[in-house]
Structure 1
Amino acid sequence: MLKEKRYLVLEDGTVYEGYPFGANKPSEGELVFNTTMTGAQEVITDLSYTDQIITFTYPLIGNTGMNTEDNESLIAQARGVVVREASTGPSNFRTSETLDEFLKRHDIPGISGIDTRSITRKLRSGGVMKAIITDETYHEDLIELLQNSEFRTDQVKRVATKTPYISTGPGPRVVLIDYGKKENIVRHLNGFGCDVTVVPYDTTAEQIRQMRPDGVMLSNGPGDPANIPDQIQTVKELLGIPLFGICMGHQVFGMACGAKTFKMKFGHRGSNHPVKNLATGKIEISSQNHGYSIDPDSLEGTGLEVTHIALNDNTVEGLRHTEYPAFSVQYHPEASSGPHDPEYLFKEFIDLMKQKEGNHA
């Protein structure tokens, strides 16, 4: 493996030389970096990384192997994995395959032996950019191709569930709108006793109301929320039902109330991001994965108030409606991968539904 060469070519003309693992094919995507130290399997299978090449800043990835239990989706949609070192001899009692075997099975190419610190500095200073993983040694045409290519805008349509399904529980009825959800969101809702119906992203407000939910959850997902304008209108029509949005669901909720979003320079991706709860003053360490954020200057007149902020850059991390029983957070309270600090938000959602009990929409 270490005798063959593989290359990571960036649209700015930078070329990194490394070694191949994973699928044997070229792959183009948006190059991003993630600072998590554990949970690489959850990251790679997170559908929010659809069409992205993930650079892991932690120097050794795959040393605990991959297993059959921690996937966040059945088929990962990341375009590539970039690491300093890919472990070939994992050691963990839950291991069922190596990182190399896992990526081959998901048809995702990887490249190792890369100075990931250099990539991270480049993306932090210049912003995320297009890149391609290739085994070809001639790169001038590839650079021109990257500079002239456009990102796809149909990520949510491609990865969201196509048909509704139910994950039963004895408690409140929750409709989870799937924009590219993490499976651990369903697990957490079930853990709190919720009866969960997962529906496609383009399910109408009327169809959801006919299900008579006690609450509606808006999932995470890939891409720009502005690419799903009809779904923003759907959420607007659902206001009045207890609602909880996560990540892209947070952005969709904000836009449904009249707020705007902007693309961040390099986004938040990792499981060590500090967030301040403005109501309690407490600091939470959170798992995050997003490249878009709510514009705080667009909140006037929306009925929204900021509940959480990111301490690293003061971006909006949480919103609550002052009139309707609805709130959202930009980070991942289902802790996959990441700390468990924000799990209390699920209980707040349960409490909202209990307050509205007997008043189904």
Structure 2
Amino acid sequence: MIGTVLSVVGCVVVVAMVVGAVRTLVHRAGPVVGDPGVAAELVALAGRRARRVAAVVIDLNATVPTRMAFIGADADTPFEIGSVTKGLTGMLLANAIERGEADLDATLAQLLPETGGSPIGSVRLSELATHTSGLPRLPRSPVTLLRLVAAGYTGVDPYWGTTPATVIAAARRQRLTGRGRFRYSNLGAAVLGHGLARAAGRDYADLLKRRVFEPLRMTGSGTDLRPGVRRGWTAIGRRSRPWRACGYGPAGGGVTSTPADISRLVIGLLDGTAPGRAAINSFAPIEPGPPNRSSGLFWIIDRDQPSGRDMVWHNGQTGGYSAFLVLYPQARRAVAVLADTANAARQQRVALGLTRWLTNTAR
């Protein structure tokens, strides 16, 4: 019986993959609109089969500091930003430190007393924000595995139904492995975000709204299911349901933004007016990792040795969306790419290609 069920499931998966592949092959990108220079580069970099894509190019030294181009989108189109949200959680931490609500050397148990007596309770906030706490990416459990498998095959939200309480409880049960060395953890980002919310007397969604979105006038951003958020596409051409901001909201579940809002965020980080801007400063080296790589508060920082300039970045991916945001603080430039296809590596290539173009045109 079990063998028959597995065979049926396998056939369904194969059929779904074939259908997705055919959809991808026959799809052709729509027209590109926006700034002519950015548009020409975007169409060359995104490829003929791109779906909805938005590119934001910022140069505060230029006469026109913000330029955008779009395929099937506009400045107010909502996109899920995935783990780019971790960078926002890092900003909330930096802002909480400025307000005296948190300290990098404080332990998680000081924010969330229920974690006291467990391994995670002794972890410092700095360890959580630099992925050196020893927590796994996600809780080790059969339920987590089943959620991920179901999400991969059906396009459902793998975090649906989780709450801050269930995420914190899951973190309490985890063993810490390789503490002190870089180990990317959605679980660590989630519990830290909820701890910061607890310290401020709010929930995470309200904290993010009041301390990041509202000061930067990011009126099209939020953690609820925003109007206009459509189902995205997996990398193999299957539709994926929008994610909601459940227990993993601080790590990247369910947060949406628009190209216009991302430009406001980037400008605030570049000119120093964004709340918690210190999050993009280097706090600790990443080991193991590429040479000259360090961590901000969740932001990744790569330093170019000849010039001494930093590239500060974070990517993001949900079931049907992906994003890549990169800042060059010393040059006062940035590039962001948002797409309704789950392929963060592709958006990274597009963003770095636009960076090269921006550098060449600015000379």
More strand by percentage = 1
TM-score, normalized by length of structure 2?
0.25
Larger relative helix fraction: 2
Calculate the TM-score normalised by the size of structure 1: 0.25
Higher relative contact order at CA 8 Å, sep ≥6: structure 1 or structure 2?
A: 2
